[in-house]
Amino acid sequence: MPTSYKPVFQLKLTRLTDNTHDPATALSVMQEYHGLLLSICDRLEAIADTLPVPVNVSECRFLSQELLPSMKASHRFEEERFFMSARLTINGGAVLDDVIARLCEEHREDQFFAEEICEEMRILVAGTHCNNAEVTGYMLRGFFGQMRRHIAFERDFLCIPMAQRLAKI
């Protein structure tokens, strides 16, 4: 993802979030956030693949600055707007409420893990070689693997059923 992607993405989201009480718009914004987080996962994977070779410092700096704010913005939108739209559209009852509660808890865990990733990126930017490239790579892979599974679950359990219901309306 080129660094110019971020301002374009933020501008697009600003336009979209003005009308996120509409379930179709909320779904569209959520899909945009998923795309952003998946692109960050791809970038983290590229770094993990290069270790222990010296890393791209500008890429590590970008990720250390953007990972946590992007994730927090996504989670905030999801919890404040998207989940309500999903509840209204899917009508999943107690099962859906339980799933959403679990996803919210996963958001907290993901943010704690993201803080550790950002710290590791800052260490790499400072030129301090990671103590153990295998450990750093394992940590990065654990994070982006977990994020990809989380997003895949949200797509399968929330986004696809929402899109199907909205198509019938």
Residue 8 has what pLDDT? 44
| Spatial CA neighbour of 4 closest among 46, 49, 66, 60 | 66
Per-position DSSP letters for 96-125, written without gaps between them:
HHHHHHHHHHHHHHHHHHHHHHHHHHHHHH
pTM of structure:
0.86
Residue whose token pair is 């309306």? 169
CB count in 10 Å sphere of residue 9: 17
Residue 92 has what pLDDT? 87
Query: Along the 169 residues of the chain, how does pLDDT read in single tens digits?
Result: 444 455 445 545 555 555 557 899 999 999 999 999 999 999 999 999 998 888 899 999 999 999 999 999 999 999 999 999 999 999 889 999 999 999 999 999 999 999 999 999 998 888 765 568 888 899 999 999 999 999 999 999 999 999 999 998 7
Residue 76 tokens read as 């905030």
Residue 32 CB contacts under 8 Å (≥ 6 apart), including other chains: 9, 12, 13, 16
Residue 83 has what pLDDT? 96
